[in-house]
Amino acid sequence: MSFYTCNRTGSCPGVINGNPLNGICEKACIQVDKVLDAAMRQIQLNNTQVELTNQTPANPVTPLTFISAVINGQTAVNNLTVERLVEKPNFARVSFDAVVPLLITYSDANGVTGTGETTVTLANDIILFIPQPSVVPYRIEVFGAVANSSGSWVSGSTFSLNACISLIIRVLVQAEILVPSYGYCCPPQAQEFTPDVCRGEFELPIFPTAIQNQRS
């Protein structure tokens, strides 16, 4: 396998103008995570109690006031089971627990803002396309997002949480794919940022220029 750079200008990403075949100069083998199937679940949490750990600063003065909840890292997949469907050989019943990490922000009785970590475990039982056995195995990954969060302090480090959580479940396999290529990208020169306070001054001539009077 050989790789080389096209001898042409304009090797930059962008809108294709004209014939898209013009400029293709190689077949490139790229290693990517190929998405074999994907699905989305949207779950509404109502008065779900969560307990915070790793509170910063430690020992906040109660009562606490909830401010927000945001995603705090990669969603984990636990207790995964895959049962192939007899009537659909390429599909399977996929059951797992999605452990969504959250960062809760609050203020204490003295108005000091603090944070704490917690997780929400969401059970899933869905049907996905699952490839046949191969040397390179597939994997299940979950991306979590949270929106419209609200909550209230219960006691100690416990909060009651309301939130809308979206889960994007993907079946992935690390694959080497052959694609047509225009060659390597040519990044443009970086544009340096400089304050613009001197533009007018730098444009002045070094010495004054006399304006000649035109006499008739």
Nearest to 141 by CA among 116, 124, 117, 158: 124
Residue 1's pLDDT band, with cuts at 50, 70 and 90, is very low
Cα–Cα distance measured from residue 184 to residue 31, given in angstroms and rounded to the nearest whole number: 15
Q: To which residue do tokens 């997780």 refer?
A: 119
The pLDDT, as a whole number, for residue 154 is 98
Neighbours of 207 (CB within 10 A): 6
**Which residue ranges make up each domain of the chain?**
30-202
Contact 163, 150 (CB under 8 A): yes
Cα–Cα distance measured from residue 141 to residue 76, given in angstroms and rounded to the nearest whole number: 8
pLDDT (mean) for 181-192: 80
Helix or strand holding residue 139 (H, E): strand 138-155
Q: What is the pTM of this model?
A: 0.78
Report the percentage of the chain scoring pLDDT > 90. Answer: 71
The pLDDT, as a whole number, for residue 201 is 61
